[in-house]
Structures are given as structure tokens and as C-alpha cells.
Structure 1
Amino acid sequence: MAEAVGARLVQAGVPHAVIDLDWLRHCRPSPADDPFHLELELRNLSAVARNYVDAGVQRLVLAGVLESRADRARYAEAIGAKLTVCRLKADLTVIRKRLVSRHQHDSDLGWHVNRAAELEKLFASAWVEDFVVAADQPVAEVAQDVISWWLAAERLPTG
């Protein structure tokens, strides 16, 4: 989805970078007290964001999972800018279908399916997002909805 948002930004002539946060923390083993390598991800994000801004990027599109408002504040600090968070929401049957197609040959498919259900419960109570976009529609429509909500959020007065 993030790449589709990036494609829309290309069409609009907006200097941007799309960052898959999973790759900023992808190394093994993970510390026992940080199983998702959040600390490494944030350090890497800070450096990468700074490099992109130095290169003229005006927008960062981050693809990842935010589990708490405290984490949201840490990500904003890492990028050194206001963070607008979009939650992509789809029915768990749709998510399961996508996971099966993406991880059909992986031994950890079950983990991904269980994690999706766990995250759905967490997101329902965490209220980390600024807006929610239905992700069980075609990717191009999801990207357009994300851009539309993002622009609307930027026009709102802050604090």
C-alpha cells in the first residue's frame, strides 16, 4: 500500500521516500527484551530520515505497525517531524487471504495470522491513528483515500 501512496506522490510531483520499517529492524537474533527490534528500527529510521531530508525529500511514507501512543511519539522524534498516522483496516478474512498468498510457503504463516488478530484487538483500543482507511478495496483506491485523508489532516489546526 505504501508504494501505491508513493506512486500517487510521484504523480503529484511531491519529493518523497517510501520506507518499509520492517527492513530497518531486520536482523537476527532480536534481544529478549525487544523481540521486534524497535530500538534498532528507531535508530535506523532517525538516520535514514535525516539522509532523505538532506536529499530534498518533503514527505516520508512509513509502512509499519504502531502499537501505542508512546511509540507514536518515539517515531515522530526519530523523524524529527509531525507524524500523521493512517490505520489500514480490513476484515480479518481479507487479511488472512492476503497473508496466505504472501506467506503460503513460509513456516510462520500461522504466526502472521495470529498476529493479525492480536493487532486488530490492540488497534481497536490504542487509538494511535489520525484516520482509518478501508483496505479491503483495490490498492489504487486505498492509496487515494490515504492521500485524501492525509491532506485533510494537514489542513486541520493543531493544538
Structure 2
Amino acid sequence: MSEATEVADESPRRAESNPHASAVRKLADAMLRTAVWPAVATVLVSAVVGAFWVGAQGLVGALVGGVVASASSLLTLWLMRATADSHPMFVMVAALGGYLGKMIVLFVVVTLLRVFTAVHVPAVAITILATVLVWAFAEVYAFRKTKIPTIALANDS
């Protein structure tokens, strides 16, 4: 048996033996399906508003902000999937670290874009804020609607 076959045979067993990983992956998939279209709509509305507000700079700024915010939100879902097989406490640490890292990167991007005159920085910032908030609310909605079995053990103390 080759190494490739052994790895392929091990993958389904690992998914079956780790219900937490399958729940995290199911949740990440539901969040992606639920959040993409509202985020796209938010970016498009922001682009139209930016174009009317400032002109071409506002349009470019809104599109840049939408791409940056959407990429950072997709990175969060990738992080969920990448850490799904880890211990649940590590997944929480990774999620918190990913959130902190995302906020720092978004701040740095907005700060660095001040150099470019073709981009309206307030349009970038407002679009990032709107897109991240819409994406987060959609993720919360998906979390509440996704049926994931949970077992709450009684506290013996």
C-alpha cells in the first residue's frame, strides 16, 4: 500500500473519530454560505455610495475596502477549518488570535492606503467596517441556525 493510499484511507476515519472537527467544518461551511451574498451586497452598495459621495476615488476606495474586508473574513473561516482537528481550547485560542490579527491587518491597510491619492481612505474604512459587521452578523445567524449536536454535562460541584 502506498503512502498516498494510507493518507486517503486515514482521512475518513479521522473525521468520524473527531466529532468536534466535523461540527467546526459544518459550521464554517454554513457561515460561508450565509455570509457571502450579504457581504457582496454591502460592498456593492458601498461602491455606489462612494461613487456618488466622492466620485472615482470613493468607488475605488469602497471596492478596495470590500475586497480587504471580505478576504479577512474568508481568512477567519479558513482558520476555523485549518484548526478543526485540534483540541477545542486551541481552536478558541486560534479564533481569538485570528480576530486580533485581522483587526491589526485591517488597521494597517487603512493606514498604508493614506499614501495613495487614487483611494478615498474614509470610503475604504467605512466599507471595511460595514462589510465586517455584515459578515459577522451573518456568521452569528448561521451559527444559530446550524444544527450541531451539543452535550451539556452536569456540574458535579
TM range (shorter): 0.3 to 0.5
Query: Which has the larger Rg?
Result: 2
1 or 2 for the larger relative contact order (CA 8 Å, sep ≥6)? Answer: 2
TM-score, normalised on structure 1? Answer: 0.36
Higher helix share: 2
Higher strand share: 1
